[in-house]
Structure 1
Amino acid sequence: MSHGDRSTRAMHQALPPALREAVDDFAEHLSRVRNRSTHTVRAYVTDLVSLFDHAVRMGCVDLAELDLSVLRSWLARQRTTGAARTSLARRAASARAFSAWAHRAGLLSADVGAALASPRAHRELPSVLRADQAAALVDGPTRRITPTDPPPTDLPDTHGAPTNPARTGPAGEAAVPLRDRVLLELLYATGVRVSEACGLDVGDVDHGRRVIRVFGKGGRERSVPYGVPAQRALDDWLRQGRPAMVGAHSGDALLLGARGGRLNPTTARQIVGAYAEAAGLPRTSPHGLRHSAATHLLEGGADLRAVQELLGHSSLASTQIYTHVSVERLRAAYRQAHPRA
């Protein structure tokens, strides 16, 4: 098993063979059948290994012995050790997903997790930038706002390619602001996730219709429009920037890292954070730009269903949180401005 950190792998190896095999089969199901991302599979496996480790400590060494009391005891132990409500809700969901799969696969005689309750996760309102703040961030590379501490350029790209010699020359150095600009423009213009932006290929951009083809969670494909500023950034990057950074390991990747491979999401997060700090803005991440894009769309009159489609949310409930953000901003403005507030 290659999922999880070192402690999870150690606990996995210490499990009885039947439980260890169940973890591996479930991970295979999530990856190959459900088409879940590596990050999602890792999270499920980490939770499941923790559950089985607790079950073994309770004397449950066979999968058939797993019952609701074991699941509840596991969650109770997590709560006493300080797990947050969001973590408890996620772990309960992992247990229910495994139980349902194991029952369908004939490994459990009943879906013991179906009755497992979990605390409702407290959903905090996402922090968003004002429209002028978002504009200042996105325009940072154009206005030569250079981060005081530039993002590190020695992080491995997705393919771990060796350093691209062209990157060290004047043309390569001039290409970096163009890359940063198109990254920021796309994140704010489309509201895509950072993993989706880094996963874009050159062929995913439809310049004529000004839309990008995005593969989101679960491999779901959607088309997302972008505006004229993002088109200009794309044109400059593809004409002047990308050719200077392209290397043997670039493939069809739209956004490239310092080594010539596909831009790493971790580096993309550092780029956004560095430009936000350089512009004197609140601490910002790519997900913060996603929140901002959704909020600004709704405040501008966009339909909630349209925003759901743009963001790639499978449930409208995930999109509705942005209506609460807009209401809170309206209340704040009212309290500040109305004489009888």
Structure 2
Amino acid sequence: MVNEFLTYLSFEKRYSKHTTVSYKNDLSNLSDYLLITYELSTPEHANYPMLRSWIVTLVDQELEPKSINRKIACLRSYYHFLQKKEFITKDPTLKIRALKVKKSLPVFVAEENITDLLDKFEFADSFEGLRDKLVLELLYGTGIRLSELIGLKNADVNMFQKTIKVLGKGNKERIIPIHDTFITLAKAYTIKKKSESFSNNTEFFVVTNNGEQVYPMFIYRLVRMYLDQVTTVDKRSPHVLRHTFATHLLNKGADLNAIKDLLGHTSLAATQVYTHNSIDKLKAIFDQAHPKS
């Protein structure tokens, strides 16, 4: 039933490949635990005490609550699927509760640091240099996710209409505006890419030095290498540039609903976390405008 469940996630629920693989690994780990602990060969007939015991084991291993909650989400989805298919009559996850997660504010890079990187840093005058700057401009200039950048195709970049089309979570498409600076850079990058022998062998917009589709670790290393030049924030990842995009927009007075749409959030609650990062901006406005300040 696990394979049927994974097929259901991919083709009916349209979950991302990353989520599907994660759920597959979670169920594999659960199956190993049930076999060793309870001599249960498959997870389909596990009951609540068995599942709770597995979760307690994960807690004892000191896994992050966020990681454990993702595994709980996998369990709920799997046993709901089994019940829907009438393979089981009772959902054993009904009494399982998610762990409390300490909420932390999104890390972002200061505006002056980003300006130093994108406007003052000298990138190599080569395909690699243009590609690297393009990646940074994409992540910071549009706020797209890592997976969205990796999946971006040549046909998705419309320089005439000044937009890009990305495929987000749940296979939902959205259109994001791009600025003139990016268009100039993209044209130079495209010309350089076409001059290379691999130009006709890929449909993807951002490629490696060999003309192949970029992969997560490639982008992680690239972003960290350049952010190391301008900032000392604890996290220096592609997602930090997404946080930076949203925070800077909010600081400049952008509407929260507009930021939600640009980021591809389904709920405004996910976007509201950025309002906490803007407290310094609010304090400055308060000091400037309030009669009692």
Q: Please say whether Structure 1 and Structure 2 have the same fold, judged by a TM-score greater than 0.5.
A: yes
- Counterparts of 1:204 and 1:54 in 2: how far apart (Å)? 44
What do you get for the CA RMSD once the two structures are aligned?
A: 2.6
Paired residue for 2:228? 277
Structure 2 gaps, min length 5? 288-292
Distance 1:334 1:277, change over 3 A: farther
- Counterparts of 2:256 and 2:285 in 1: how far apart (Å)? 22
One-letter identity of the residue aligned with 2:10: S
For 1:203-214, what aligned pairs fall within 5 Å after superposition?
Answer: 203-214=155-166
- Counterparts of 1:200 and 1:293 in 2: how far apart (Å)? 19
1:288 matched to 2:267? The reply is: no
The structure 2 residue matched to 1:255, chosen from 182, 206, 209, is: 206
Paired residue for 1:127? 107
Paired residue for 2:219? 268
- Counterparts of 1:121 and 1:246 in 2: how far apart (Å)? 49
For 1:80-99, what aligned pairs fall within 5 Å after superposition?
Answer: 80-99=60-79
Paired residue for 1:58? 38
1:244 matched to 2:195? The reply is: yes
Shift of residue 242, structure 1, vs aligned partner = 1.3
For 1:31-180, what aligned pairs fall within 5 Å after superposition?
Answer: 31-56=10-35, 57-61=37-41, 63=43, 65-139=45-119, 143-144=121-122, 174-180=126-132
Distance 1:256 1:64, change over 3 A: closer
- Counterparts of 1:31 and 1:259 in 2: how far apart (Å)? 30
1:186 matched to 2:138? The reply is: yes
Structure 1 gaps, min length 5? 1-21, 147-172, 336-340
In the superposition, the TM-score normalised over structure 1's length comes to: 0.77
> Does the CA-based 8 Å contact 2:47-2:92 persist in structure 1?
yes
One-letter identity of the residue aligned with 1:258: N
Report sequence identity in percent: 30
1:314 matched to 2:266? The reply is: yes
- Counterparts of 1:284 and 1:117 in 2: how far apart (Å)? 32
> Does the CA-based 8 Å contact 1:27-1:41 persist in structure 2?
yes
> Does the CA-based 8 Å contact 1:31-1:37 persist in structure 2?
yes
Paired residue for 1:231? 183
Shift of residue 221, structure 1, vs aligned partner = 0.4
Shift of residue 295, structure 1, vs aligned partner = 0.7
The one-character-per-residue Cα deviations of 1:176-205 (angstroms, maximum 9, x if unpaired) are 111112111111110001221121111111
Shift of residue 327, structure 1, vs aligned partner = 2.5
Distance 1:49 1:63, change over 3 A: closer
One-letter identity of the residue aligned with 2:47: D
Shift of residue 62, structure 1, vs aligned partner = 5.2
- Counterparts of 2:209 and 2:40 in 1: how far apart (Å)? 50
- Counterparts of 1:40 and 1:263 in 2: how far apart (Å)? 19
Shift of residue 253, structure 1, vs aligned partner = 1.3
> Does the CA-based 8 Å contact 1:133-1:281 persist in structure 2?
no
Shift of residue 292, structure 1, vs aligned partner = 0.1
Shift of residue 175, structure 1, vs aligned partner = 1.5
In the superposition, the TM-score normalised over structure 2's length comes to: 0.88
SS of alignment partner, residue 245 of structure 1? coil
For 1:2-13, what aligned pairs fall within 5 Å after superposition?
Answer: none
Distance 1:51 1:332, change over 3 A: farther
The one-character-per-residue Cα deviations of 1:136-163 (angstroms, maximum 9, x if unpaired) are 22236xx4256xxxxxxxxxxxxxxxxx
One-letter identity of the residue aligned with 2:136: L
- Counterparts of 2:88 and 2:60 in 1: how far apart (Å)? 28
Distance 1:287 1:245, change over 3 A: farther
Shift of residue 34, structure 1, vs aligned partner = 1.8
- Counterparts of 2:85 and 2:281 in 1: how far apart (Å)? 49
- Counterparts of 2:81 and 2:254 in 1: how far apart (Å)? 39
- Counterparts of 2:54 and 2:252 in 1: how far apart (Å)? 46
Count of aligned pairs between the two proteins: 287
Distance 1:329 1:73, change over 3 A: farther
Shift of residue 89, structure 1, vs aligned partner = 1.3
The one-character-per-residue Cα deviations of 1:63-120 (angstroms, maximum 9, x if unpaired) are 5532222221111111112122112211111111111111111221122213311113
